[in-house]
Amino acid sequence: MSSDTSKTENTKAKNTEEQNKEKAKENTIELKNVTKRFGKDVAVDNLSLGVEKGTLTMLIGPSGCGKTTTMKMINRLVQLDEGEIKLNGTSVYDIDPVQLRRTIGYVIQEIGLFPHFTVFDNIATVPRLLKWDENKIKKRVEEVLDMVTLDSSYAYRYPLQLSGGEKQRVGLARALGADPEVLLMDEPFGAIDPINRLKLHDSFLEIQDEIKKTIVFVTHDINEAIKLGDKIAIIKDGKLVQHADSTEILYNPANQFVESLLGQDRSLKALTLKRTKDFTSKENVFTVDKDTSQDNVLKQLQKKNEVIAFVLDKNEKLVGRYWLETGKKGKVEINYDKNPIMTEQNNTLNESLSNMFSSGEQILPVVNRRGKFLGVIRLSYIFDEFNK
Amino acid sequence: MNLFQYVSENFNNILGLFVEHFFLFLVSLIVTTIIGVTLSIIATDEGREKVGQVILSITGAAQAVPSIAVIALVFIYVGIGKFPAIISLIIYSLVPVMFNATSGILSVPKGVIEAGKGMGLTKKQILWKLKIPIAIPVIMGGIRSAATIIIGTAVIASVIGGGGLGDLVFTGLKLNRPEALIAGAASSAILAIIIDRILAYVEKIITPKGLKVEQ
């Protein structure tokens, strides 16, 4: 009898223990009442923040607000003065800092690729520190290079031989090298020109959809925060001002500071909450194979009473576009464009809208990061969204 | 007596002094490299970058001090002979070694070091896998200047009993025999050129490939 009671008590204890564990597991990263001072200046002031497993939290605020300091306390590059930071329920101060950092991916604005290492060796850095088997490392490097859409010939190049966008992709690949659960990113796209930044955003979102890492991402660009973040944490003077998803922040800014951060064009920004892929359709879209002759395309278009044909290769990659134009004498001419303007699936509606304005097109083909054709977005779709 | 006659008559003597000069140089260069690079590593350690800056200013200014002043000071405090000569050569050539090593390590991009630290490299790994290899071309530049300076200054150090090719030069000076003077000076110049070529080759070999590729 007595043994029975102890058994049930045991199971009870186990249950509560498991429940506690599960509760702690909900948030992969947990900051509790964290304070950091530099001399007399309070950089981070009693800040509490939880980051759910598999989500992307953007830390945003004016420069000097403590967002980078907050992030760097998670991998102990900065020591906290007060409070507690937990990773999967364990205080980061119970883990050796060097070991801790090997389990957390880290990307910074300067990228900091090791110039004397090949791309391969850069990506293999942490796996080698963790003493992975060389075959496993080789496989992993190929895998992450493919993930960031760099072909395997890049493995033996040196950082000096890469463009800015390529460097940033390798930086991301390196951070993913040892397949860490958590990524810390400090303005990773800050030094990239706007066009490449959009492309990188798009790739990054696609990759995150695939790998579902727990990410803390520091930025000072509100558009970037709205576009990328599952949650946005707005920080001012070391204090957390608002922590919510982008819709909540756009429609219910906590105070004037958040409003001013969002700027004047909030209704336009609301378009950034919508992704192009959700407005992409293949309805009434005419595509032809790369090998189809121009005359054949012309006949088919006239038969179907269409004016645009998108040209795909055998991997469904968009490689060109035909369009019909009525000439001076009413004669129909067919034109070919081998570099058609396109938009990527994770572009926000206002980015696609902006692409339409700048190109003068009302229909844009939509592709993924590998250039695969997914359908088209039409100006009318976006207006319908406005009218709602 | 012309130069060729002089050299052929005194060939063994000149060769002996040449070898002596070479060893003076070799010992000084090895010691100065070890001391100079070690001090620079210590001075540029994380959080001590200001010490590194101070060293840069001091060594920058110290390059203007004439070698004869250093030799004279060592003579006053240490005395005469091979050992004081080597000491003065080490002190004088520490300047370029430390200047280059310090500035080389300090100029490793901050982002590289921060990325390394954030990825979980230990302090030792950051030093040996990142800072030193990236700074190698600059460090080697300092060692090459030091080599040339040591070979030239060793000629002067013969006044405090260092020996080597300086003996020929000063003999020529005292006895008004230009062929002896020229033989000494030319031999020292030849040694300097050979050593610099060798060090240039070493530099080429140990500079990581990634730092040399075309952009």
Stretch A333-360: mean pLDDT? 87
Query: Number of structural domains, chain B?
Result: 1
The answer to the question of residue B181 being in a domain is: yes
CATH number at residue B24: 1.10.3720.10
For A148-163, how does the pLDDT look when each residue is reduced to its tens digit (9 = 90+)? Answer: 989 999 999 999 999 9
Out of B111, B116, B121, closest to residue A111 by CB: B111
Lowest mean pLDDT among A139-143, A204-208, A269-273, B32-36: A269-273
pLDDT of A177: 95
List pLDDT tens digits, range A99-157: 999 999 999 999 999 999 999 999 999 999 999 999 999 999 999 999 998 999 999 99
Structural domain contains residue B212: no
Cβ proximity of B14 and B183 under 8 Å? yes
- Average pLDDT score over chain A: 88
In SS3 terms, chain A reads as CHHHHHHHHHHHHHHHHHHHHHHHHHEEEEEEEEEEEECCEEEEEEEEEEEECCCEEEEECCCCCCHHHHHHHHCCCCCCCEEEEEECCEEHHHCCHHHHHHCEEEEECCCCCCCCCCHHHHHHHHHHHCCCCHHHHHHHHHHHHHHCCCCHHHHHCCHHHCCHHHHHHHHHHHHCCCCCCEEEEECCCCCCCHHHHHHHHHHHHHHHHHHCCEEEEEECCHHHHHHHCCEEEEEECCEEEEEECHHHHHHCCCCHHHHHHHCCCHHHHHHHHCEHHHHCECCCCCEEECCCCHHHHHHHHHHHCCCEEEEECCCCEEEEEEEEEECCCCCEEEEEECCCCCEECCCEHHHHHHHHHHHCCCEEEEECCCCEEEEEEEHHHHHHHHHC
Q: Does B116 touch chain A (CB under 8 A)?
A: yes
- Residue to substitute from B112, B119, B121, B213, interface A, most A β-carbons within 10 A: B119
A125, closest residue in chain B (CA to CA): B119
State in Å, rounded, how far the first CA of chain A is from the last one: 67
Residue B140 lies in a domain: yes
Kindly state whether residue B213 falls inside one of the protein's structural domains.
no
pLDDT over 50 at A2, yes or no: no
- With a pLDDT cut of 70, the percent of chain B lying above it is 99
Mean pLDDT of A358-368: 89
What do you get for the CA distance between the two ends of chain B, in Å? 58
Residue B109 has pLDDT above 70, yes or no: yes
In angstroms, the separation between the Cα of residue B48 and the nearest Cα of chain A is 17
Q: Which residue of A has its CA nearest to B135?
A: A116
Residue B187 included in any domain: yes
Q: What local confidence, expressed as pLDDT, does residue A24 receive?
A: 46
Residue A9 has pLDDT above 60, yes or no: no
Q: Hey, are the CB atoms on A111 and B133 less than 8 Å from each other?
A: no
The answer to whether the CB of A77 falls within 8 A of the CB of B113 is: no
Q: For position A283, what pLDDT does the model report? A: 85
pTM assigned to the model: 0.81
ipTM, 2 dp: 0.88
Mean pLDDT lowest for which of A107-116, A213-222, A281-290, B31-40?
A281-290
pLDDT in tens, B152-163: 999 999 999 999
Percentage of chain A lying above the pLDDT 70 cut: 92
Residue B177: inside a domain, yes or no?
Answer: yes
Q: Is residue B13 part of a domain?
A: yes
pLDDT at A192: 84
Beta-bridged to residue A105, according to DSSP, are A183
User: Is B111 an 8 Å CB contact of chain A?
Assistant: yes
- The answer, yes or no, to whether residue A18 has pLDDT greater than 70, is no
User: Do the Cβ atoms of A160 and B112 come within 8 Å?
Assistant: no
| Residue A238 scores a pLDDT above 60 | yes
Interface membership of B215 toward A (CB under 8 Å): yes
A381 in contact with B at a CB cutoff of 8 Å?
Answer: no
The yes-or-no verdict on residue B148 having pLDDT over 80 is yes
Q: Which domain holds residue B14?
A: 3-207
In a domain, B189, yes or no: yes
The string of pLDDT tens digits covering residues B39-80 is: 999 999 988 888 888 999 999 888 889 999 999 999 999 999
- Residue A10, pLDDT score: 54
Walk me through the domains of chain A, giving residue ranges and CATH numbers. Answer: 27-272 (3.40.50.300), 278-387 (3.10.580.10)
Please compute the mean of the pLDDT values over residues B1-19 and round it to a whole number: 89
**pLDDT at residue A326, rounded to an integer:** 79
Our measurement of the distance from residue A22's CA atom to the centroid of its chain's CA atoms, rounded to an integer in Å, reads: 27
How many interface pairs between A and B have CB atoms less than 8 angstroms apart?
A: 83
CA–CA min distance A73, chain B (Å): 11
At residue B35, the pLDDT reads 97
Q: What is the pLDDT of residue A13?
A: 52
Answer with the residue of higher pLDDT: B170 or A271.
Answer: B170
pLDDT at A261: 87
